[in-house]
Chains A and B, each alone.
Chain A
Amino acid sequence: MSELTTKTIAELRDGIGAGDFSAREVAEAYNAAVVAGRSLNAYTVETPELALAAAEAADKARAAGELKPLSGVPLGIKDLFATEGVDSTSGSNILKGFKPTYESTVSGKLKAAGAGMLGKLNMDEFAMGSSNETSAYGPVISPWKRNDGGNAALTPGGSSGGSAAAVSAGLAAGVTGTDTGGSIRQPAAFTGICGIKPTYGRCSRWGIVAFASSLDQAGPMAKTVRDCAILLEAMTGFDPKDATSLDLPVPNWEAGLSSDLKGKKVGIPIEYRIDGVPSEIDALWDKGVEWLRDAGAEPVKISLPYTKYALPTYYIIAPAEASSNLARYDGVRYGLREAPEGGNLDAMYAATRAAGFGAEVRRRIMIGTYVLSAGFYDAYFTKAQKVRTLIKRDFRDAFAECDFILTPTAPSAAFGLQEKMSDPLAMYLNDVFAVPASLAGLPAMSVPGGLDGQGLPLGLHLIGKELDEQGVLNAALAIEERAGFTARPQRWW
């Protein structure tokens, strides 16, 4: 592994700026790492030529004294983002071969900031999954192994599993992820990296394939808190093409980074002590509280009483929206078409969607269709919307007493492939800590806290007030500085 691929984005940026190395060297190192890392199955498409082209532009820009914020930084882009002229399939057979004529706002902003694209990152099909096992391209293998001498293949988490594996294995300096109910934060925790989901509306959803529109948010994943701040600045901003985009200026988050938390209060939700969560995770949580106290914050107990309904609420609202969002994949205009001989339009729909969607996507379309159906709508969907409002109120009340909230990111460390595929409910439980912030649209971040007894990373989770990404980043920075998490997976691939 090249020295260059271990550097942070801040280091790459500064090194290219200072002339310590060229952007081309960086791109070549990463292109080589991507090829060497193929056994992880992190990328669905490799675009070394795009990474090189951006690097050449960066080197020219440097010569001309016109470096941009991300000049020469090679990134991986989750396959959920439409990228112009490059396969964008959302991990699904139904979009196999689909090359958009357009570029998503977020990936476009990153490119405009000078970043190069190494390729498209594997993911759970349409972002539905927590282990990257629902992908039509097969699962991503985590670069991490347990220290038990066994060689079990582990999940990097999901749905942004390719994104997480790529950063953690040094196959990208940083990546985009999307988070609907934890899809950035849980994989970040499983692979020992940082990932932030900003306030709903900060990142434009234009050009990102929709899973659940009221929950979907893009965000960065990277090695460090600072790198996340750098990427987040480049990704966010008002977009008139997204009616839910926030028309607010983009804060200078990197410049605002400070781990001095004097005068801040960190909320510890009493309801988040959940049966069955390993004691190591509770212990890390306690350690996290101490780190934040050390940084000057005062811990306070808070209550989020409706949290226990968050997961069932999420699994009504998200599938409901998905069942409608995915109706456009019908074989009429693009993507897969299966037209049985002599069949009518309905037969084409049925055959196309049966062949194109995997089991988990079909399950969620059916759940979503059911909860929106006449006679069930009020009992499920309306009720879920009401609970969602109560969950938002929980947070509003809690933030009257604290500035940010600390919880574990996930209820376990990374698990083995196949371990949970036969039990969807166990799989859904992975997002129990992540989902409430999604339902409330709040900024939330996972930062590595340490390793468990099996040598696997565990993450700590910070939830902030609406629009207070800075508060979340600063608290995460305080933990990062104190946790001293430097572990990287042993290279076996």
Chain B
Amino acid sequence: MSEYRIKGETGEWEVVIGLEVHAQVVSNAKLFSGAATAFGAEPNTQVSLVDAAMPGMLPVPNKECIRQAVRTGLALDAVINRWSRFDRKNYFYADLPQGYQISQLYHPLVGPGEVEILLDDKDENSVKQIGIERIHVEQDAGKLMHDQHPTMSYVDLNRSGVALMEIVSRPDMRSPAEAGAYLRKLRSILRYVGSCDGNMEEGSMRADVNVSVRKPGDEFGTRTETKNVNSVRFVMAVIEHEARRQIELIEEGGKVAQETRLYDPDKNATRSLRSKEDAHDYRYFPDPDLLPLELTEDFIADCKASLPELPDDKRKRYEGVGVTPYNASVLTAEVETARWFDALLEAGAEPKQGANWVVAELFGALNRRSETLATTGISPQEAAELLKLVADGTLSGTLGKQVFEIMLETGDAPSKIVEERGLKQTSDTGAIDAEIDKILAANADKVAEYKSGKVQLFGFFVGQVMKAMAGKANPGVVNERLRAKLD
């Protein structure tokens, strides 16, 4: 991939991008209370006394949330801080019952790590490491609803206190595509680990996008931060838009203000939310209700042991058994796909053919039928059976495709389809010889032409035989018997 540069009036500009990803931790309970965390529940039904900040209520850390964040850190090859601490971030807002958010400013749970991205899916050498600066754990706020009453806003505290991981990257990305690849890769890892469902539409993963521009080789420029962007596409759009806005501003003699901005997807534009001067003074200080978090080596070892095989390792393993790099990368991008493919291998499918079939045939069919692996009735075991029937010659390639189509329609097992519809390929030389004799007799003129040297007619005879036998003849046997009779 060539370097991404934006052409301005004064020459080429480089974009510098850093992302702060807020990922909602998968857990049945909130970070500091026992309240449930179901998405889409009736307003204010998932709220404990702690979440509503009733007088005298105290936070108690939920071990599962800490475990998930540590597992995530381990999956990103990050430093796990044995000693971390929660701080209060103080500000007033109606969706923040305590008047402060419990977060981690000074001593985060997870330190530096990295995420490997592929700049080009088809080129396994196009890797780039994106640095992770830190991951800290914090509470989410509630939600205000402005459309319920003409003069008042309503507050829904269901989300109040839900655990978030804030995953802060280094300013290592240089193009919208890199940012997109980073986000997709991060989401993939989180889903593998099971620490975040990655559903950006439901808000369980969202990004603050830091963008600055500079002439290549110069110092970093002043950055802006666009808050709460909730899709990969929007993140890429924000970067493009914001970079161009900053370049125009600088080239017109202006200065980029360090500020917080908001993205409006309808207008595809960002607008200023508040400048540095108006920035809140959050008065961070260590939360005196909570003791420092001290992790034991045993706890960390348990977290490590609980990690599944991660996408990069899986990709390398697939490549090691003959899967092409491209297929390996496609098959490992989403954990559901990888799990499906693993089950296919488990059921005895040959890796290279299996991968080709999944990526070309299965994905093609699912796409065409607007289905997914989750919704299709084809199990990896049945798919393996189908592949085996083709590989051992029971089904020809053509028959294999027919059986596959029937499987998609009916959800039946391939053996059942072959049995019921008599689709089994035949290698019965008696039956094949009989058909060959009929074809040759009916086409005596073509046989004469063939014998006088027009050897390209061989294919015609094969086709006629196959057609007469409704595709069920073993093509190898047909070839062999035809040659015996003609040559």
Contacts and interface: CB of A to CB of B under 8 A. Distances in A.
Contacts, number: 99
Of the listed residues A209, A320, A324, A377, the one surrounded by the most CB atoms of chain B closer than 10 A to its CB is A324
Given A324-B90, A377-B285, A334 B54 contact: yes
A209 B285 contact: no
B100 interface: yes
Contacts of B284: 372
B56 A208 contact: yes
Interface string A156-172: 00000000000000000
B53 A333 contact: yes
Task: Choose among B92, B98, B285 the residue with the greatest number of A CB atoms under 10 Å from its CB.
Answer: B285
A318 to B, nearest CB: 10
B52 interface: yes
Given A321-B288, A327-B90, A104 B56 contact: yes
Interface string A211-227: 01110000000000000
A332 B141 CA distance: 14
B283 interface: yes
A92 B55 CA distance: 12
Given A88-B55, A243-B291, A244-B291, A381 B60 contact: no
A324 B88 contact: yes
B385 to A, nearest CB: 53
Interface in A303-335: 320-321, 323-324, 326-328, 330, 332-334
A14 interface: no
A305 to B, nearest CB: 26
Interface stretch (A64-72, A94-102, A115-123, A471-479): A94-102
A327 B99 contact: yes
Contact of B283 (A102, A104, A373): A373
B56 A373 contact: no
B60 A242 contact: yes
B406 interface: no
B244 to A, nearest CB: 33
Given A320-B285, A374-B281, A243 B57 contact: no
Contacts of B289: 205, 210, 213, 243-244
B61 interface: yes
Contact of A328 (B55, B61, B153): B55
A206 interface: yes
A330 B90 CA distance: 13
Contacts of B59: 243
Classify chain B's interface size: 20 to 34
Contacts of B56: 81-82, 100, 104, 205-210
Contacts of A210: 56, 289
B155 interface: yes
Contact of A327 (B52, B58, B92, B94): B92
A100 B54 CA distance: 8
B117 to A, nearest CB: 36
A11 B455 CA distance: 121
Contacts of A256: none
B58 A205 contact: yes
**Chain B contact residues, majority secondary structure:** loop
A386 interface: no
A81 B61 CA distance: 23
Contact of B97 (A102, A214, A328): A328
A132 interface: no
A369 B90 CA distance: 10
Contacts of B88: 324
B347 interface: no
Interface string B41-61: 000000001001111111111
Contact of B285 (A88, A327, A381): A381
B127 interface: no
Given A324-B100, A372-B285, A206 B58 contact: yes
Given A95-B55, A98-B55, A208-B56, A332 B155 contact: yes
Nearest to B90: A324
A214 B155 CA distance: 31
Interface in A187-216: 205-210, 212-214
B431 interface: no
A113 to B, nearest CB: 20
A444 B283 CA distance: 32
Contacts of B98: 327-328
A85 interface: no
B290 A243 contact: yes
Given A100-B55, A102-B49, A212-B288, A243 B94 contact: no
A214 B287 CA distance: 9
Contacts of B52: 333
A90 B53 CA distance: 16
A330 B58 contact: no
Interface string A424-459: 000000000000000000000000000000000000
Interface string B278-319: 000101110011110000000000000000000000000000
| A244, A327, A333, A377, most chain B CB atoms within 10 A | A327
Contacts of A205: 56, 58, 289
A127 B290 CA distance: 21
Contacts of B53: 328, 333
Interface string A34-67: 0000000000000000000000000000000000
Most chain A beta-carbon contacts within 10 A, residue among B52, B54, B58, B281: B58
A102 B92 contact: no
Question: Which 8 pairs show the lowest CB-CB distances between chains A and B?
Answer: A327-B99, A214-B288, A372-B283, A213-B288, A328-B53, A207-B56, A209-B55, A82-B56
19 contacts: A81-B56, A82-B55, A208-B56, A243-B58, A243-B60, A243-B290, A320-B285, A323-B90, A323-B283, A324-B285, A327-B98, A327-B99, A332-B94, A333-B54, A334-B54, A345-B93, A372-B283, A373-B283, A377-B283
Interface of B: 49, 52-61, 88, 90, 92-94, 97-100, 153, 155, 281, 283-285, 288-291
Given A205-B56, A207-B56, A333-B52, 18 more contacts: A95-B55, A100-B56, A104-B56, A206-B58, A210-B289, A212-B288, A241-B58, A242-B60, A243-B58, A243-B290, A244-B288, A323-B90, A327-B90, A330-B94, A330-B99, A332-B155, A333-B97, A373-B283
